[in-house]
Each structure stands twice: as structure tokens, then as C-alpha cells.
Structure 1
């Protein structure tokens, strides 16, 4: 058994494990390999994910590593917003004293470690910034580390060795086929996600439109995916395409339930997107991806292999508007008010070359 980092011995008598991981879709995907490692190291234990509703929507029935879900209350630094969230008192009543091991995979611990300690678990592991309260076993939080490896380093403190470096989300062949039939796809399907939570990570819609146009002209179908925030970008992509190709462009932005997104992404032959949650989910369901990244984000979020996943890097080191250094990111970094794209220096031709290569060479 090879542990990551300092590691630690397994705890005895663990039957109930809590894993804290809120945040967005990408954050959830980064935690899945660590959760799988815990499930393998403690096969007799039940693993409960403490997260936001999207976690259940995406993972319920699609992984054997998570056995139960608990929705997080609204707590600064743990969960900032959400309709219908339980009260902190109700959450405490359901969870306090219930777990033998509590695992913090949620940021640097400034807010998440005190929250985790409220559980009253027998054992705790996690990360800690220099100003964070520490847990029973902990590792220093340093911003520039791949998020998957960070999670695996944390669970190694509890004696859990990696079983995979990629998140895995299960989609059946029947689901893939049903999506393609609903869309009327008879050959290749290219998925495009034009959004990202941080506007600085977004490739411009006209660049995505160039990719869509080239693949439509090559005879592929194209499906646009994303939530309501991605609807304007999808509209700009549609407006840039000729009407005669519209029947093979399927816009599902803003209308696709999150629980259906894994199947749609799994039905695609390749996904093109920014450093975003749907790109990470596409990887998890086994779909090859071509990602457009700011170079610093590749350290924390880039795919491991290049046989199925390609990255295109933008080497912007200063804000294009005010010139402030943008390489010192993380908890305490100075942040200007500007949100220009940091990745628009990536050219569509380079992305299209990798799309064509993956369509010819990648094995699902």
C-alpha cells in the first residue's frame, strides 16, 4: 500500500465516516478519488457525504463509494447560499456524535475545521492553513497542489491509499444510447460547455463558435451544455452559426437537470470546455476532453493523462486591464476588480486539432 505524503495508520473501529466537501461541481469531482480511497480502506464503514444538493443529484446511484448524503447548513466559508438549507441546529441534531471518522476536504480549514469539529467525531483528518484550527491529523494547505492529490494526501492520514487518480461517475451504455436517440445523433457527437464560475477562465463565445462550426461542417452533431448562467454564451454561439447547420446543433443550456448531465456528457465523443465543473464531470464519466486553461489552474485542476485529455494553456501573468500580478492566487492574494478573459490567447485552430486527434485515437 503506497500512501501519499506522510500518511498514517488506519483508525480502529471505524463504522461511520463523514466527508465534508461543499462547493461546486468541480470541487465535488476533485473529492471523489479520495472518497473512493476511504471506501476501499474501510470496507465495513458507511460513508456519508456532507455537501450541497448537487452532490446527491450527480452521485446518487452513480458511485458505490458514497452511501448517504447530508445537506450542509448555511455557514460562512462552508456554504454561503442555497434555498431550503437545513438550520445549523437541525444539522447538529442529526450528525453530532454519529461519526467515528470525519474528513475535511473543503478548503484550507479556516472555516471548515471548526465546522467539522462540531460533529464530535472520534477521529478527524484534514488540511490547515497557518491561521486555521488543526485537526487530530492534518497537513498544511498550500494553494498550488492538484486538488485530487490534496484530497488523497488528506485521506492517507487515515491510512487510505489511492485506488484511482481520476474521479469515476457511473453511466450505463443504455443511458448513453438513449441520449443519442433523443438528440437524433447517428455519428459523432461533440459537447461544448462555454462557461466557468470565474469569468477570467472563460474562452470567448466566438472561439467556441469557431469550434462548433468546424465540427458541424465535418458532419458531427454538437450539443451545448451548461446552467442558466451559460445561456448568453450559448446564444452567442448559436447566432454565429449558419441556419443550414442548425438541425445538428442541440442547445441544452439552462434546461438540462443536473441529474441528467452525466448521461449527456457520457454520450458525447469529446467535450470542449474551460476549466469548469462539466469538463471535470466529462472526465469522470469517461468522455475525452479538450480543455482551455489558464496555466496556473492546470496545477490544481488539469487532467492527468494526455491519451484522452488535452489542455491548451494561456500564460497570462498580469491582469490585461490593470497589470496586477495574477500568479499569486489563493486565500490571501490581492484581487483586482477586473474580469477579462485570461484564456483568449488560445486559438481555435489548436483546439480543433486536438479534437480531431482525440476523435481518431482516444479509446473510451
Structure 2
């Protein structure tokens, strides 16, 4: 038996399982190994993810572990916003008493544990900070822990053993071929995402542009992905490529125009993906694409890839805010946060990233 943490025995008579995991794309990817473990431990049960419409779009046809997605209502600390979201009253009226087991993979439990308990499930498991209401079986939430392992430690409370340590979403060879044909790729396809929710985790557009220019000069195609918030950075990358090469012919900009359900296929078609510590980089890992990630060193503990044959991590070791000097290693809900948002990761150079991109391309097996 392989188990992370102390764990517990499997519950009897479980036919309906709910897993609470809202948040962004990366949050969902971190939860997927725990979800797969629960699905394997309770093969006769129906597993419902309590998440966002984005989760439903991404998982449709790409994971056998999740049977249904129920959209979360807007509740502080569980989901901050969402046009057209169900009301809390409607959500709990429909779902109360349905589940035999409810699993909390959503943070430290201050808000998510009371939310989970309102479902009226027979059994509950999850994490808890010192000021959170505890569930039937629980483990202490400590900030510095890899999110995948945290989720697996929670799943172990319900008797679930790991199936995988990496998130996994299916992308077919036909999908990959269609994307490469769409872009006219004849050599390598390099994907990029020049964004992150926290501006302190963002590598500068000029650094991304330097990598794009080098790979375009080598004969590769480059595709830039992201949402509307990534438009300013992408425009700077495009302008730099135009200035350096006189053309953006093989630079494919799908920022803000690619439907979310198509993002896995685009990332899956890439030979390597370059990104910040952000959702698309975590998704690229899940669809089997090699990645080069630019990370603040503290985030590597919680979010870094676990192997180095397929995934490379370049770290910035900033310990104090470059503007005011406050200690930035103390993180989490109770940590002091200054108002400054400089990049913590721009010490990483394009040359470092390019060296890892080239090595991953050189050592990759033939498709």
C-alpha cells in the first residue's frame, strides 16, 4: 500500500463523492491526482467536482475520473465572482444530502470547510488551519507543501492511494496533428504563456520575446496562449519579434481568441512550453508536453514539476521585496503583504531558458 500521510480506511457504502476545488486552472490541475486516487478507490461511485465552468470545459472528454461538474455559487473564500452562477440557496437545496463522501481540496478550510459541511454528506475529509472548523477526518494545512501531495494526503484520509503524481488530461494524436497543420509547423512548435495571476511571478515580455526570436531564427514556430489579461505582454512580444525579424509570420498569437476547451490540444501539440508559474504551464504538463518554467523559488515547493527529464525549473531566489525590503518568504493568508508588485523572477535570463529549451528538444523521444 502506498499512502501519503497517516491516511485512513475506506468508507463503506460510498456511491456519491463530491470534491470541492474551485480557483483557477492551476488549482484544478493540482487536484487531479487526488481526484484520480478517489475515483480508483471508489470505482462504483459517481464523482462530482464542485468547481467552475472552466473546469467543465477543460475536463469534458479528457478525464475519466470526473463524472459531473456542479458550478459553485459565489461565496467568499470559495468563489469570488461568476456571472450566472447559481445562488447558494439553490446550490445547497439541490445537493444537500446527495453525497456519501465530501472531500475538501480547496485551501485551508476557513471558508471551504463550513461550505462543505452544508452539503450534509455522511463523511467528510479535508485540511484545516488552526482557526478552521474541522471535518470528520482532517489534516493540518501548512502552507509550504506541494499542492499535489497535499491533495493526495487528503485523499488518503478516505483510504485512497495515489494513481499518479502528475495531473493527466487526454489529448489525441489527431488533435495534435490538426493543431500543427493549422499552424503549418514543419519543425518544432514552442508554446509560450507570458502571464501569471500574481504580477510578482511574471517574467518580462522582453525576456519571452528574446526566446521567441531565437526559436524563430532556428526555424521553429511559436504559439502564444493566454487570456485577455495577457494581451499587453503579448503585444510587446509581437512588436519585438517584428523589429528583430521584420516579420511575425511564424509567431501565432491566439491570446484571448482560443476557446478554453481547445487549449489542451494546442499545448499538447507543442514540443516544449515556456511559461511562468501559471495555469497554462501546469496544463501543458498534464497533457504530456515538456516545459521550461520560470519560478520564484518559494513557489517551486508548492507548484514545481516533480521530474527534470521532461520539465525544467529556473528559479529566482528573491527573499525581500525589491522596492521596500520586506521579507517575502513568509507567505500564506497570515503573512504581511506589501503593496508593491515588481517581478521577483526577472533575474532569470533568456539564455538560461533557451539552454533548457534546446536540451529538452534534443532529448525528447520522436513523436
Note if 1:218 corresponds to 2:237. no
Q: Deviations over 1:128-151 (max 9, x none)?
A: 000000000000000000000000
Note if 1:297 corresponds to 2:318. no
Distance 1:5 1:163 in 2: 15
Measure how far apart 1:11 and its partner are: 0.2
Distance 1:254 1:324 in 2: 35
CA RMSD of aligned residues (A): 0.7
> What residue number does 1:151 align with?
151
**SS at structure 1 position matched to 2:249:** helix
Q: Which of structure 1's runs of 4+ aligned residues deviate more than 2 A?
A: 242-245
Runs of 5+ in structure 2 lacking a partner? none
> What residue number does 2:241 align with?
241
Measure how far apart 1:343 and its partner are: 0.1
> What residue number does 1:358 align with?
360
Note if 1:308 corresponds to 2:310. yes
Q: Deviations over 1:273-300 (max 9, x none)?
A: 0000000000000000000000000000
Distance 1:264 1:29 in 2: 17
Output aligned runs, 1:77-156, within 5 Å.
Answer: 77-156=77-156
Q: TM-score, normalised to structure 1's length?
A: 0.99
Q: Deviations over 1:209-254 (max 9, x none)?
A: 0000000000000000000000110000000013544110000111
Q: Deviations over 1:254-274 (max 9, x none)?
A: 111110000000000000000
**SS at structure 2 position matched to 1:337:** coil
Output aligned runs, 1:26-65, within 5 Å.
Answer: 26-65=26-65
Distance 2:104 2:247 in 1: 48
> What residue number does 1:322 align with?
324
**SS at structure 1 position matched to 2:248:** helix
Runs of 5+ in structure 1 lacking a partner? none
**SS at structure 2 position matched to 1:70:** strand
Q: TM-score, normalised to structure 2's length?
A: 0.98
**SS at structure 2 position matched to 1:319:** coil
Measure how far apart 1:75 and its partner are: 0.3
Residues matched between the structures, number: 364
Measure how far apart 1:182 and its partner are: 1.1
* 8 Å CA contact retained: 1:176, 1:267: yes
Output aligned runs, 1:165-176, within 5 Å.
Answer: 165-176=165-176
* 8 Å CA contact retained: 1:307, 1:362: no
